[in-house]
């Protein structure tokens, strides 16, 4: 049966490379995008959010922040503005970023541009915190012997 290969690259590094993948769900600009093997060629903008990679019944989660996604010949290439594997997310850093953004937003007299920057920083931190939280939840579930590792939301 056909499989996918997946590559996620940022300006800094190769964040993720995997082959024999069964399914990918990525945050497309127009909503969640599910990609199975033999998908039609595609080139699209990405939003920010969780990306899930399913391989052999195991699921991996990543945070991706904008960029482009291309599907061609069962190969998915993502050029992201920023991306992290779930296990790479520094929760304390994300929490600090969230608090900073929160206080910038509530400070009076902010220019619109500054408000938008704070809002964007807030959204990035929320994505990171949500993915870390889900990962911890899944780990706890596995440790207690219950549930499948695929329990997404
Ligand atoms: P911060 O204010 O903490 O830098 P940010 O949202 O402004 O957060 P980005 O501009 O999205 O950060 O990313 C800058 C670089 O830092 C990227 O390489 C990104 O992968 C990395 N990064 C940002 N926050 C985290 C985090 N909480 N854990 C791991 N890597 C992070």
Residue percentage of the chain with pLDDT more than 90 = 80
d(CA 11, CA 95): 24
Q: What pLDDT score was predicted for residue 153? A: 40
Enter the CATH code of domain 89-143.
1.20.5
Ligand 1 atom nearest to 63, measured from its CA? 20
Where are the domains positioned within the chain? 4-86, 89-143
- Residue 151, pLDDT above cutoff 60: no
pLDDT digits (tens, 9 = 90+) for 8-49: 999 999 999 999 999 999 999 999 999 999 999 999 999 999
Mean of all residue pLDDT scores within the chain:
93
Nearest in space to 31 (alpha carbons), one of 6, 7, 56, 50:
50
The verdict on the CB of residue 89 being under 6 Å from ligand 1 is: yes
d(CA 80, CA 82): 5
Mean pLDDT, range 126-139, rounded to an integer: 94
Q: What pLDDT score was predicted for residue 106? A: 85
| CATH architecture assigned to 4-86 | Sandwich (2.60)
56 Cα: distance to centroid of ligand 1 (angstroms): 30
């Amino acid at each position: 049966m056909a499989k996918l290969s997946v590559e996620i690259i940022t300006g800094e590094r190769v964040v993720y490379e995997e082959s024999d993948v069964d399914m990918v769900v990525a945050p497309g600009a127009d909503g969640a995008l599910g990609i199975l093997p033999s998908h039609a060629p595609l080139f699209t903008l990405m939003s920010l959010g969780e990306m899930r990679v399913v391989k052999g019944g195991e699921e991996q989660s990543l945070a991706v922040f904008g960029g482009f996604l291309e599907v061609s010949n069962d190969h998915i290439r993502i050029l992201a503005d920023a991306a992290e594997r779930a296990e790479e997310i520094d929760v304390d850093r994300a929490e600090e970023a969230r608090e900073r953004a929160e206080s910038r937003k509530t400070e009076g007299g902010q220019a619109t541009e500054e408000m938008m920057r704070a809002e964007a920083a807030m959204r990035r931190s929320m994505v990171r915190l949500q993915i870390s939280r889900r990962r911890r939840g899944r780990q706890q579930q596995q440790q207690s012997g219950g549930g499948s590792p695929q329990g997404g939301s």
